[in-house]
Structure 1
Amino acid sequence: MPRLRRDVRGQETLQAILVVAFVLLPLLVSVVTFGSLIHEYIGTQAAAAAGARAAGSVGGFGPDQLSRVLEALRSNGIDAERCAIEARPTTVALDQPITITVSCPRHVGIPFLLERDVNLSSTYVARGEVNR
């Protein structure tokens, strides 16, 4: 009878190792990955907002406003070189909307579950504050 107990105990240890390897580890990686995605999405929102506010205050989107967006991306730990920044329209009059869109591609990989490329995109609309 003692031998049977030892075999069962070894089997339980093996099951615990398999659960950790195939369930808990991917779960932990997915939590960290989605936390990182949310952080990057919030960073793109902040960058789009900074660019739209800067563009609205001068009545257009130019190199100074672009550098503002790039600096906001970098300050949030996002590689600004792989992000696309779009302004529509590039010049605005008083109380006219200007829309800034920041899109950053991202690869998501979770072991045994998901392998995909996603595009994190944020849009912010501000109004022009300069009478032309």
Structure 2
Amino acid sequence: MCHFTRYPTYIWYRDGTQRHQGRFDWVDINSEYSASCAIEGSKQLSSPSVYAPKNPSVSVRSPSGVIKEGGSVTLSCSSEANPAADYTWFKVTTDHSPGHSVQGQQPSFHPIQSSDSGQYLCTAKNDLGTTTSSPFSIDVKCE
């Protein structure tokens, strides 16, 4: 068993650079940077960096390559984040606000309908922040 002879001093890092040293075991973490900490004298044992999701990457997969009504389509969203992000997809409404949401990183349409055409956004969210993708268009072709 290991015991400290005194309260440990924590060293906090912001984007890998030492920013704060003290006996407190917390620091305000901003969604614009990564943060980690270590006990003084043990930098090699620092905590993993935590950070808000980075800009989400989105894609669409269709077996035929062309999105045809009645076919199958899967949307995909990914973002670098720690802790891991939760994903939500939104179809943008005519007034350019997020409409109906779909939870999950890879929602599927089967069969896809012409009414599914439009712009979609993906949000990646963890305890440190939320980031939204650029709009992504789906154009369903009628057969």
TM beyond 0.5: no
- The structure with more helix, counted as a fraction of residues: 1
TM range (shorter): 0.3 to 0.5
Q: Which structure would you say has the larger RCO, counting Cα contacts within 8 Å and 6 or more residues apart?
A: 1
- The structure with more strand, counted as a fraction of residues: 2
